[in-house]
């Protein structure tokens, strides 16, 4: 069970990189929060109107902070497709609302959900096929589950231009997340309208992993979305790893 959990932690962790590092909260710079798009606007990426894409593209790190700050506190649901060298490896659906987040992922025919309840300072890795969830207590309550803009700015992102994807005008940035033992380069397309990521590429020696965000829906999200089903067996991660570290015969 521990090995399976580690595998899923890696998969979910990679997915979270695109969410956490590209749509952070900008509380440090005290940006104004842009209002979420009303439900009446088009939400499917294939039907986005270019007339909505009027904000100016950022030209400096300061304006990039402003752009990313638009996603603070946003309520949105969207789908994600992840490919490695052109082959689909996982599909996901994400929900963001306030300090809560949920990502349902299917990979290799298996399902897993990551649920973060920021106000309660807990996260769950839920395995529906085993009716079991691993609970982790968060040390701090994040102001926004979409992360901290400082985490991105510390990576010295470079603005390389603008590009339109499915009618969504995006600022394109590049940065290096890791240099050792293997360099990990990232490229992201950030929606100028609201600071959300719409595409991400990770370049490794083994090839390119791409994540595409689709079908954005800015309607309301029920609080029950971030709750576990009744009867789930909840195990505390700290207790599991403390038990696994005990010497034999203890």
CATH number of the domain located at residue range(s) 2-239 in this protein: 2.50.20.10
- pTM exceeding 0.85: no
Query: pLDDT tens-digit profile of 27-86?
Result: 333 333 333 333 333 333 333 433 455 677 777 777 888 888 888 889 999 999 999 999
Please, which residues bridge with residue 232 across strands?
A: none
How confident is residue 25, by pLDDT bands cut at 50, 70 and 90?
very low
101 pLDDT above the threshold of 70: yes
How confident is residue 98, by pLDDT bands cut at 50, 70 and 90?
confident
Predicted local confidence at residue 177, as pLDDT = 86
> Are 133 and 127 spatial neighbours (Cβ–Cβ below 8 Å)?
yes
Query: pLDDT tens-digit profile of 32-46?
Result: 333 333 333 333 333
Domain boundaries, the chain: 2-239
Of 192, 225, 208, nearest to 87 (Cα)?
208
Long-range Cβ contact pairs of 27-31 (< 8 A, separation 24 or more): 27/72, 27/143, 27/148, 28/148, 28/149, 28/150, 29/65, 29/66, 29/69, 29/149, 31/65, 31/66, 31/69, 31/70, 31/72
Q: CA–CA separation, 49 vs 130, rounded Å? A: 43
Please name the helix (run of DSSP H) or strand (run of DSSP E) that holds residue 9, with its range, or none: helix 2-20
Predicted local confidence at residue 143, as pLDDT = 56
């Amino acid at each position: 069970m521990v090995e399976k959990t580690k595998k899923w932690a890696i998969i979910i962790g990679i997915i979270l990189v695109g969410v956490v590092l590209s749509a952070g909260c900008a509380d440090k710079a005290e940006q104004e929060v842009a209002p979420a798009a009303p439900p009446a606007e088009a939400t499917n990426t294939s039907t986005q109107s270019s007339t909505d894409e009027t904000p100016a593209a950022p030209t400096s790190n300061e304006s990039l902070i402003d752009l990313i700050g638009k996603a603070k506190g946003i309520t949105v649901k969207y789908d994600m497709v992840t490919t490695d060298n052109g082959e689909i490896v996982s599909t996901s659906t994400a929900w963001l609302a306030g300090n809560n987040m949920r990502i349902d992922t299917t990979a290799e025919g298996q399902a897993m959900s990551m649920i973060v309840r920021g106000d309660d300072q807990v996260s769950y890795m839920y395995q529906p096929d085993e009716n079991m969830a691993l609970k982790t207590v968060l040390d701090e309550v994040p102001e926004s589950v979409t992360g901290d803009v400082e985490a991105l700015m510390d990576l010295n992102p470079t603005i390389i231009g603008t590009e339109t994807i499915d009618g969504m005008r995006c600022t394109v940035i590049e940065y290096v997340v890791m240099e050792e033992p293997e360099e990990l380069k990232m490229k992201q397309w950030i929606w100028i309208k609201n600071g959300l990521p719409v595409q991400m590429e990770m370049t490794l020696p083994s090839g390119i992993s791409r994540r595409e965000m689709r079908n954005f829906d800015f309607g309301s999200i029920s609080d029950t979305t971030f709750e576990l089903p009744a009867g789930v067996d909840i195990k505390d991660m700290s207790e599991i790893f403390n038990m696994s570290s005990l010497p034999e015969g203890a």
